[in-house]
Amino acid sequence: MGNVVAAFAAAWIIHFVYLVTIARRETRLRQALESLRAQIQSHQ
C-alpha cells in the first residue's frame, strides 16, 4: 500500500509545487504593474 500512497502523494505534491510557481508568477506580474504605475506617477 505504501507504493500506492507514494504515487498519489507524488501527484498532489507536483501539482502543489506547480500551483506555488503560478502564484509566484502572479505576484511578480502584480509587482511589475505596480512598479510601472509608480514610474508613470513619478513622471507626471
Closest separation between CB of residue 18 and other proteins, Å? 5
Q: Give the C-alpha separation, 16 to 29, whole Å.
A: 20
Q: Does 7 bind other proteins (CB under 8 A)?
A: yes
Interface with other proteins, residue 20, by CB under 8 A: no
By the rule CB under 8 A, 16 interacts with other proteins:
no
Q: Compute the chain's Rg from CA coordinates.
A: 19
Site membership for other proteins, residue 36 (CB under 8 A): yes
Encoded amino acid at 7, one letter = A
Determine the Cα–Cα distance for residues 5 and 15; give it in Å rounded to an integer. Answer: 15
* Site for other proteins, rule CB under 8 A: 1, 3-4, 6-8, 10-11, 14-15, 18, 22, 25-26, 29-30, 32-33, 36-37, 39-40, 43-44
